[in-house]
Amino acid sequence: MVNINHFGSALAETPFGGIKDSGIGSEGGLETFDGYLQSARALGAAALMGLLAACGGDKDDDDKSPTAETPVVQPAAIQVAFMPDIHFHDIYADFKDGSFPGIPNPKRGDNATIRTMYAQLTSTRLFNENYFAFLAALDDAVARGVKYIALPGDFSDDGQPVHMRGLVKIMDEYTRKHGIQFFAAPGNHDPVRPFNQANGKSDYLGLDPCCTWATRASPTP
C-alpha cells in the first residue's frame, strides 16, 4: 500500500518551493496541497502570457506595409464589325471569257470595269463607289483592332462570279496581312441557287465616253 505521508513527501520534492514533508490528511498536508495549486496557477498564467507575447509578432513585422495583391487580368473584349449590304462591285474585274477588257487606267496599269453614271442614277444603289467604301471600312476596322467582320447579307451586287472572285481576293488579303476573319450570310442579292443564272450587265462604261459598251458587246460574268 502507498503511504500517504510518502505521497506528501513526494510533493515536497517538487520544485514548487516551501512545501514541507507532511501527510496529506494533516493540516500541513492541506497547506502543502494549497501551495501546489497556487504554484500550478502561477505557472499556467506565466505560460499563457508567454504564448500571447509570441503570437503578438515582432514590431518590425507590424510596421511593414501590406503586400499589394496582383490584379486579376480580365480577358479582352471581342469586337465584331458588321458591314451589311456592301453590294461589292469589283471595278478591276477580270472577265474570264474576255467579253469586256475594261478601260485602261494609266495610274494603276489595270483596266477599270465600271458602270455608267446612268446605271447608278436609275438604280436603288451605287456600284462603282462601293469598292472604295468597302476598302475604307476594312481599313477603319483594322485601325480599331477588330479581328472579326460580319457581312450579313448582300455582300455581292447580284452574285456575279466576276465580283465574287474580287471580293474573295480582298478578304484573303486582309486575312493574311491583319488576321481578320470574315463571316458572310447570303442575302437576296447573293448567290442562293445551286446553278448558274444569266444576270449579265450591259451598262459598263466603254472606251467611247458617248456610249456604253453595250452597243458593242454584252459582258457576261
Query: Mean pLDDT lowest for which of 28-32, 97-101, 217-221?
Result: 217-221
88: closest CA among 186, 156, 2?
156
Mean pLDDT calculated for residue range 51-58: 58
Mean pLDDT calculated for residue range 43-48: 66
- Give 210's pLDDT tier (boundaries 50, 70, 90): low
Match 499589394 to its residue by C-alpha cell: 68
- pLDDT for the residue numbered 199: 63
- Give 194's pLDDT tier (boundaries 50, 70, 90): confident
Query: Mean pLDDT lowest for which of 1-10, 109-118, 210-219?
Result: 1-10
189: closest CA among 218, 149, 221, 152?
152
- Give 36's pLDDT tier (boundaries 50, 70, 90): low
Give the chain's length: 221
Q: Which residues share a beta bridge with 182? A: 149
pLDDT > 80? residue 104: yes
85 is written with which cell numbers? 449590304
Consecutive H or E run containing 29: helix 27-55
Mean pLDDT calculated for residue range 139-143: 96
- Give 14's pLDDT tier (boundaries 50, 70, 90): very low
Higher pLDDT, 191 or 25: 191
Give rounded-to-5 percent helix, strand, coil for the chain.
40, 10, 50
DSSP conformational letter for 188: T
Which amino acid is present at 10?
A
Cα 152 from Cα 145, distance rounded (Å)? 20
- pLDDT for the residue numbered 60: 55
Spans of all domains in the chain: 4-52, 80-215
DSSP conformational letter for 76: P
Digit-coded pLDDT (tens) for 154-187: 888 878 888 889 999 999 999 999 999 999 998 8
Our CA angle for 88, 139, 86, nearest 5°, is 20
Query: Could you tell me the sign of the dihedral formed by the alpha carbons of 91, 94, 97, 100, in that order?
Result: positive
Average pLDDT, the chain: 74
218 is written with which cell numbers? 454584252
142: closest CA among 221, 214, 79, 64?
79
Q: Is 187 exposed, middle or buried (0-12, 13-18, 19+ CB in 10 A)?
A: middle
- pLDDT for the residue numbered 59: 55
Read off the pTM: 0.58
pLDDT > 60? residue 90: yes
